[in-house]
Structure 1
């Protein structure tokens, strides 16, 4: 798996992947997932977007929000057709390596508080819950993984 940076030409594939990956969660959370509401022209302009293509098209996408004070995994999506190939875990490793390369000592992410299986997966990857955030239509669980900067 070798991710490559997204270009504007990838936006239709990113939108389709995001739809396929996040729509099942919406039956659990009862509201549209934040990544499905995004304008991907804006996302591409403001964030690092990394893609993994396979024989059948776009298999996975990773959106990193990199700010001076924090490195955030804004979105990670794997095509249902690519499920079981460990692309999500590989992209999480890629995100950590990217954070380390840029000199960060931790990675932040958030997910809907009702997505207990997703929260459990993040915990198995070394993330811990830092706090919850109540929004008008949802409750987010914020998580962080800390590591040494050198590594």
Structure 2
């Protein structure tokens, strides 16, 4: 798996994959997923968007947000057709490598508090819950993975 940077011509495929990947979560959380309703012209202009291509189209999308004081994994989505191939874990490792390469000592992410299976997966990858954030229409669980000095 070698991610490539997205270009504006990739936006229709990104939107389609994000719709397919995030829509099932909405039955659990009861509100639209933030990455599903985002304007990807803005996302592409403001964030790093990485893609994994497959034999029949786009397999995965990773959106990273590098702020002066924080490296944020803004979104990760794998096509339902590509599920089970460990692309998500590969992209998580890629995000951590990217953060280190840019000089960050951790990766921050957030997800809806009701997505307990997702939270458990992040925990198995070494992320810990830092806090919860209540918004008018949702509760977010914020998580962080701090890199060890040796790694």
TM class, shorter-length? over 0.9
So what's the TM-score if we normalise by structure 2? 0.98
Tell me, yes or no, if structure 1 residue 71 matches structure 2 residue 71. yes
So what's the TM-score if we normalise by structure 1? 0.98
Output the aligned Cα RMSD.
0.8
Mark the runs of 5 or more structure 2 residues left unpaired by the alignment. Answer: none
Tell me, yes or no, if structure 1 residue 141 matches structure 2 residue 141. yes
Q: How does 1:1-150 map to 2 (within 5 A)?
A: 1-148=1-148
Shift of 1:150: 6.3
Contact 1:15-1:40 at 8 Å conserved across structures? yes
Mark the runs of 5 or more structure 1 residues left unpaired by the alignment. Answer: none
Secondary structure (helix, strand or coil) at the match of 2:148 reads coil
Greater than 4 Å deviation, 4+ residue runs: none
Q: Distance in 1 between the 2:150 and 2:50 partners?
A: 23
Q: Distance in 1 between the 2:2 and 2:118 partners?
A: 24
